[in-house]
Structure 1
Amino acid sequence: MKTAIRNTTAAMAAMLFGMAMAAPASADDKPTLAFVVNGASDFWKAAEAGVKKAQGELPDFNLELKYPSQASVAIQQRLMDDLVTAGVKGIMVSAVDPKTQTDGLNKIASETALFTTDSDAPKSKRVAYVGSSNVDAGKQAAEIAKKAMPDGGKCMGYVGLLGADNAKERIQGFKDGLEGTKISLVDVRGDDIDQTRAKANVQDTLVANPEINCMVGFYSYNTPRIYEALRDAGKLGQITVVGFDDDPITLGGVKEGTIAATVVQQPFEWAYQGMKLMAAYVKGDKSAVPADGLLIIPTKIIGKDDVDAYAAHLKAMAGN
């Protein structure tokens, strides 16, 4: 009798499970869109705020921002694979290394709507790129260097991912902007988004390359690590520092004059505009996708006289 009861219960459970799997999704179910970054950094806090604002205007979607546990192609790919398995309808990603990720990105693009941001993957089957022109941003960094060093100088660059398109394009833009001047970019040191290593790279330069009188931080956290290394060595103000992005340490250095200026991007707008574009695309409206697949959000230079107004702007965007 007990065996018969168990068999009957199991059969009923199986039937109910099958009915649940076959049943249509409830009206409360919402499609999910994900914004996947390339590694842990305070830089992405502005993007979180952009996702939050977009969520308020897209009540029919669930919007998420995801951090890979490490800045690794394999780990980022696994995160996106898991999102696809969970049923996300669209992914916007800052690819760790677009050139080596093409096959993996194409796999994602075959299963869900794929957009890129920050570091484009133009050879992939992504729908569109939403972000900065990194070449133009590099040229703006060169303008800062030229203004700060009219008599010339030797620069060392620092970046997280040497292989990423955003890094290569910023570096190329910087070099292009220096053509015809007495300023040169001697080398660029990578750190794989390891901030301890980022600071150590600067410290190593101070010892091994005393001729360097200019340092360029190509990723958001590189400039703060430059600042800290120079501060610890008692060399703040002795070496020209060209910054990228708006870390509080960077903005503080610009305001006090120890950082010449910084080129700021708009990750808030990447996320806000990007998620809205992706939502429209998923719903079948492709009219807002640019013909060339590029939605460029301009970068700008923030100097000493601009810091207070820019900081107030950031505070307002964050809703504080």
Structure 2
Amino acid sequence: MSRKWSLAALSAALLVSAVSTAHAADKKHLYFVANGAVDFWKLAEAGMRKAQAELPNYTLEMKYPEQSSAAVQDRLLDDLVANGAAGIILSSVDPKTQTDELNKVAGQTLLVTTDGDAPDTRRAFYLGSSNIDAGKQAAQILIKAMPNGGKCVAFAGLPGADNAVQRLKGLREGLQNMKITIDSVRSDEMDQARAQSNAADILTARKDVNCMIGVFAYNTPQIVLALQQSGRAGKVTVVGFDNDQGTLNGIKQGVVAGTVVQQPYQWGYLGTKYMARYVEGDTSFIPKDHKIIVPTQIIDKSNVDAFVAQVKAWMAKK
């Protein structure tokens, strides 16, 4: 009798396991593909966790390319499509050189862009910041911090990426008719050690430069480190983008004048929620220009503590 009950219990357990496996297999997969493995994307992952709790019929997953190159990211996209991705929201490494790849992906699954747009592709819509507006906000910080003008050097991971190009465009537009100029842009190809050495090189070679701009999230903390090591922290105006902890600490210490923050938490949350609606046939949320703009915000000494508290609350949510 006990053996019969054991067999029955085993059969029941196997049945439950099979049903659970089948149910998991039935779930559609939505992916967020970053442009590199940097801390900036942790908030997007936090937003995805919130969305996952509201999308029980989907599996949401963040994916990072092994390195920040278009070729590596293209291979990752191909793998996800081959594995049956129902949708991908993508921060493209280089939209201009990836046009053919992105069109191919968009022909096989739902493709959404974020962080930097790829408007010349077949992507369904863009969800993210207006990087031109963000650049103009950064110009406001510079104008306030440098009333007598000055000469700036900008530092970017990928200067040719649309987000970098547009931020710099917005900066230059915002600085028109002012005594502040952007002398040059230094690239580090998403290498943080190189980002710091780039800043250190400028501090050594260019005594006429009194302003540094961190275009990517990690650039500003590397600028701060270079300034601290050179003994010039607080003597060079620094403006950044995004909310790396090193940038926020720099603002508190008076080393960074301010930063313009995006909302990657909302990109992760809204991006995956909107993809699910699209997959289910609802496209009513897409504007005529196919761009959903999530506003950016200036963070300086006046509001940095409140912003840090909000970030901690987002990251604490499971």
> Residues 53-95 of structure 1: CA distance to partner in whole angstroms, max 9, x if unpaired?
1101100100000000000001000001000000010000000
Q: Percent identity?
A: 55
Gaps of 5+ in 1: 1-24
- 8 A contact 1:155–1:212 mirrored in 2: yes
Matched, 1:270 2:263: no
> Residues 83-109 of structure 1: CA distance to partner in whole angstroms, max 9, x if unpaired?
000001000000000011100000000
Distance 2:76 2:288 in 1: 29
> Residues 251-292 of structure 1: CA distance to partner in whole angstroms, max 9, x if unpaired?
111112111011111000011001000010011111112221
Distance 1:220 1:51 in 2: 20
> Residues 186-235 of structure 1: CA distance to partner in whole angstroms, max 9, x if unpaired?
00101110001100110110122110000000100000000000000000
- Matches of residues 147-296 of structure 1 in structure 2 within 5 Å? 147-296=144-293
> Residues 111-143 of structure 1: CA distance to partner in whole angstroms, max 9, x if unpaired?
000000001100000000010000000000100
Letter in 1 for 2:108: E
Matched, 1:34 2:22: no
Normalised to the residue count of structure 2, the TM-score between the two structures is 0.92
- 8 A contact 1:242–1:260 mirrored in 2: yes
- 8 A contact 1:220–1:244 mirrored in 2: yes
**1:118 aligned partner:** 115
Matched, 1:78 2:75: yes
- 8 A contact 1:256–1:304 mirrored in 2: no
Distance 2:265 2:165 in 1: 23
Gaps of 5+ in 2: 1-20
- 8 A contact 1:38–1:67 mirrored in 2: yes
Residue 81 of structure 2: SS of its match in structure 1?
A: helix
- 8 A contact 1:277–1:289 mirrored in 2: no
**1:47 aligned partner:** 44
Deviation at 1:26, TM superposition (A): 3.7
Letter in 2 for 1:48: E
**2:18 aligned partner:** none
Letter in 2 for 1:94: S
- 8 A contact 1:134–1:166 mirrored in 2: yes
Residue 239 of structure 2: SS of its match in structure 1?
A: strand
Distance 2:22 2:280 in 1: 18
**1:142 aligned partner:** 139
Residue 99 of structure 1: SS of its match in structure 2?
A: coil
Deviation at 1:27, TM superposition (A): 4.2
**2:60 aligned partner:** 63
Normalised to the residue count of structure 1, the TM-score between the two structures is 0.91
Across the aligned residues of Structure 1 and Structure 2, the Cα RMSD in angstroms comes to: 1.0
Residue number among 113, 125, 129 corresponding to 1:128 in the alignment: 125
